[in-house]
Structure 1
Amino acid sequence: MRRRIEPQATGNEPANKKDAADKTTPSKAEAKGRLSYTSVLINIGKFLLLIIVIPPFLNYASLQREGQMLLPKDGQIVDISLGQKMHLLCKGQGKPVVILDAPTGMSSDIWFHVQESLATLTKVCTYDRMGLGFSKRVMQNETTGTERVWGMSTTGRMVDDLHRLLQAAGISKPFILVGSELGALNGRFYSHIHDVQVTDLVLIDPLPEDIFEEEQWKEYWYGKLLPSFQTRQFSAATGLSRMLIILGAMEPAVNGEGVTEEVVQRQKYLLSNPAHQSSAVEEHYFLNESAAQVRDITKFKPLSSRVSVSVITGDHFDKQIPEHLNQMVAKLQKKFLEESYPSANHIHIKGADRRMIYKKPSAIIQHLRRIVNQQQAKEQSQ
């Protein structure tokens, strides 16, 4: 009987199997690692997509809702013809009417303290220049507006808009015209052209029209200040501004005691509104052209002696800029006042700068109340 011979295992077989197992194990680990790395990249991509898409979308949706809710209850949207509508807010009763024109790139809310106080004495009106606040800019192909004559966002255009606004709203004349910074340029232009409509011209922190001939000032304005507003415009367009406001990293200019919640919310809405911020950028960009227009108009048509001029300035034009620039502004202000308005009443507010409208409004209010009282006494005596 034959014996069955079983194949005997050699000593090399287990080693071969082990080698095969070792060869397959790293490939699986590598595949697992690649899969894990890819999933991380996908998750990062999704996160970035959410950051890029969701904030602008939520901001846009919020702006649509807030635009109707936050329109001042006492305000009105006035049709000034040429397809344009502007926001006008008047408070109080009586004569003379006081018209307040805001600094560069700012809405009418900046006058909150001044308007509330003066409204106990007479009628006080603020307005939003075209593109700012609730005065929405029309599309270029929807109007034959005066931008074709004066250019967009320049003093000539703004004065024409203001004149048509006051006509359409039926504002009593003559009135007291108050302007700060760019508003002061507008006030000067308006008073030289429509002098019979203005009894008093009040200039707060007026910019001399030849300031942009100084290279250091141009470098500051166009190299530092304008880019900061362009950044703010980008921040509003991407929804970042709204996030910063929610986190408390960005706050409205007008706040604190006595400021209503409505005003605070309205300013937050405008900080998040890319259309408003875009117009603010344009006003800063074209300010040199606005100054040139005022220089030309004051030479062409001197101010009537019937118009009383007051100038209100602080210790600095802006405490946050280098001192040599403040000194430059002060020197040029003095020169242009001596040349253009030698009989102007100059009021100095200690410790103030260009933010005095909302930081130190009491000093401005005191002077404006005095002018209103003088005009009211004059009217009663006639």
Structure 2
Amino acid sequence: MENWLVLSLGILILGLLVGMVYQRVGQAFDRRKYPPPGQLVDIGGVRLHLNCLGQGTPTVVMDAGGSAPAIAWGMVPAEIAKFTRVCTYDRAGFGWSDPNPRQPRTSQQSVDDLHLLLTKAGINPPYLLVGHSLGGVNMRLYASQYPEDVVGLVLVDSSHEHQMTSEMWRSVLRISWVYQVLRIFSHIGMVRLIGEMNLLPMLKVLKQKIQKYPLAVQTLFDTFKSFCYRPHYWATASSEFAHAKASLEGLQSVTSLGSLPLMVLSQGAKDPRISEERFQRWAALQLDLTKLSSNSQRIVAEESGHWIPLDQPEIIVDAVRRLIERV
């Protein structure tokens, strides 16, 4: 019996060591295969990935949704770059940016990081801000705190401070816990192994969805998959979910952006998994966002679900172009 326990423990330790080596080798391979397309800017011991394209003013600055890297914008930045400068960035812990476990991943922290990033990189205002989902929360907060730097705002199916019910908050906390489990498993290569076998549910669903998009967007899947194999991706995503309540509560004081040119882009195609009541409530909250400015307009992306950047990217590009013409 004692020999059996020793043998079992030895096999377990050996398996863990093999998994850790597999993970380390895989990460090194990913770094060589998927180099950052932009620059890594040190904002004080943490490097954030910033990628700027095109020329012109104002500079369009884009922030992706919750747990999403900048590549989630798909082809939108490249199209905007045809008529002005556009900068996308990865929040700390996502994409090619370094993690920052010392700071909780709240919207206020994202605003502080972004302001420092733009300053350090020499990206001077004026800015036209574009934010999707949770990125919309970040950009709305940024516009309220640096109004002299911002000349326009595009909210793409943005989160709203009153969107969460008690049941939804419990779901968010459960997801945060699951992400912490995935963080632990990713250290020993389990997430990588399961992902390569196409058995990781999140990646499996995403792979099926992304097949309907242009080839240039489909090719981004492998890059995103490499991000998901990193332990700090899940740690950061967990922190964003765990602090979502604080992020949304931080918007309660942002009741007006004055006459700032504002475009609110909302999904128009209901996800069949979502009830009609919930969908109509979301639509009402999207309409409420137009009250933030006396100079606002709402556009419904009739053929899009929540992922407007991939479903109807031309709507975002057109909204940015119209705001630039206006300002």
TM range (shorter): 0.7 to 0.9
The question of 1:324 aligning with 2:277 is answered yes
Report what 2:75 is aligned to: 113
How far did residue 58 of structure 1 move? Answer: 0.4
Report what 1:88 is aligned to: 50
Indicate conservation of the 8 Å contact 1:99/1:126, yes or no.
yes
How far did residue 90 of structure 1 move? Answer: 0.9
For the residue of structure 2 that corresponds to 1:172, the secondary structure is coil
Q: 2:169 aligns with which of 209, 212, 218?
A: 218
Report what 2:30 is aligned to: 66
For the residue of structure 2 that corresponds to 1:77, the secondary structure is strand
Indicate conservation of the 8 Å contact 2:258/2:293, yes or no.
no
CA–CA separation in structure 1 for the residues paired with 2:131 and 2:25: 34
CA–CA separation in structure 1 for the residues paired with 2:144 and 2:194: 43
Indicate conservation of the 8 Å contact 1:179/1:204, yes or no.
yes
Indicate conservation of the 8 Å contact 2:157/2:265, yes or no.
yes
Report what 1:173 is aligned to: 125
TM-score, normalised via structure 1 length: 0.73
The question of 1:243 aligning with 2:196 is answered no
Structure having the higher Rg: 1
Report what 2:41 is aligned to: 78
How far did residue 52 of structure 1 move? Answer: 4.3
Q: 2:222 aligns with which of 256, 265, 269?
A: 265
The aligned amino acid for 1:84 is: V
Question: Over residues 89-120 of structure 1, what are the superposed CA-to-partner deviations in whole Å (9 max), with x where a residue is unaligned?
Answer: 11122222111101011111111311122222
For the residue of structure 2 that corresponds to 1:159, the secondary structure is helix
Q: 1:303 aligns with which of 241, 249, 257?
A: 257
The aligned amino acid for 2:214 is: E
User: Aligned in 2, Cα 1:347/1:273: closer, same or farther, shift over 3 Å?
Assistant: same
How far did residue 47 of structure 1 move? Answer: 6.8
User: Aligned in 2, Cα 1:231/1:354: closer, same or farther, shift over 3 Å?
Assistant: farther
Report what 1:209 is aligned to: 161
User: Aligned in 2, Cα 1:50/1:342: closer, same or farther, shift over 3 Å?
Assistant: farther
Indicate conservation of the 8 Å contact 2:66/2:240, yes or no.
yes
Q: 1:54 aligns with which of 5, 15, 18?
A: 18
The question of 1:367 aligning with 2:308 is answered no
Paired residues in the alignment total 319
Report what 1:197 is aligned to: 149
How far did residue 262 of structure 1 move? Answer: 7.0
Indicate conservation of the 8 Å contact 1:114/1:364, yes or no.
yes
Pairwise CA RMSD: 3.0
CA–CA separation in structure 1 for the residues paired with 2:198 and 2:272: 24
Greater fraction helix: 1
User: Aligned in 2, Cα 1:60/1:326: closer, same or farther, shift over 3 Å?
Assistant: farther
CA–CA separation in structure 2 for the residues paired with 1:217 and 1:328: 14
The question of 1:186 aligning with 2:138 is answered yes
User: Aligned in 2, Cα 1:209/1:183: closer, same or farther, shift over 3 Å?
Assistant: same
Q: What runs of 5+ residues in structure 2 fail to find an aligned partner?
A: none
TM-score, normalised via structure 2 length: 0.85
Indicate conservation of the 8 Å contact 1:205/1:317, yes or no.
no
Report what 2:249 is aligned to: 292
Report what 2:59 is aligned to: 97
Overall identity of the aligned pairs, in %? 26
Question: Over residues 173-201 of structure 1, what are the superposed CA-to-partner deviations in whole Å (9 max), with x where a residue is unaligned?
Answer: 21210001111011111111111211110
User: Aligned in 2, Cα 1:84/1:230: closer, same or farther, shift over 3 Å?
Assistant: closer
